[in-house]
Amino acid sequence: MSNQTETEWKRAKTSFPVGAVVEGRVETVYDFGAFVSLPGTDFLGVIVITSLSDSQRALSQDDFPQVGSDVRAVVVGHRDLNHQIALSLRESDFRRLG
C-alpha cells in the first residue's frame, strides 16, 4: 500500500468512527455480505450476513438490501487488512448508541 492510501485510510477511520450512524448505497451483494459506498471516501463499507438482523432465523442473500438501495447502518469496526468499514443493520447495534 502506498503512504497516500494509508493516510486516506486513517482519515476514513476518523470520519467513520465505531458507533457512528452512516448512510450509503448498496453497490454489490454476495452470499456473505454486501458492499456499501459511503459519502466522502473511496473505501467501502461491508455488511456481513450476521450483521443484517437480530432475527434468530437463518438469513440468506435475499435478506440483503437490493443493489442501488440506500441504507442506514452503524459502524461496528474497521478492517485494516482490506481497508473496509464494518457496518451493521441490526437493531441491537442501533440501540447500543443510546
How long, in residues, is the chain? Answer: 98
pLDDT tens digit at each of 98 positions of the chain: 566 688 999 999 999 999 999 999 999 999 888 999 999 899 999 998 888 887 777 777 778 899 999 999 999 999 999 999 999 998 888 888 76
pLDDT of residue 64: 85
Domain residue limits, the chain? 3-95
The conformation of residue 66, written as its DSSP 8-state character, comes to P
Q: How many angstroms separate the Cα of 79 from the Cα of each of 7, 12, 82, 83? A: 15, 12, 6, 5
Structurally, what CATH architecture does the domain formed by 3-95 represent? Beta Barrel (2.40)
pLDDT of residue 96: 80
pLDDT of residue 49: 83
pLDDT of residue 98: 63
Indicate the pTM of the whole model. 0.88
Q: How many angstroms separate the Cα of 40 from the Cα of each of 16, 24, 25, 72, 76? A: 10, 10, 12, 16, 18
CA gap 79, 53 in Å, rounded: 21
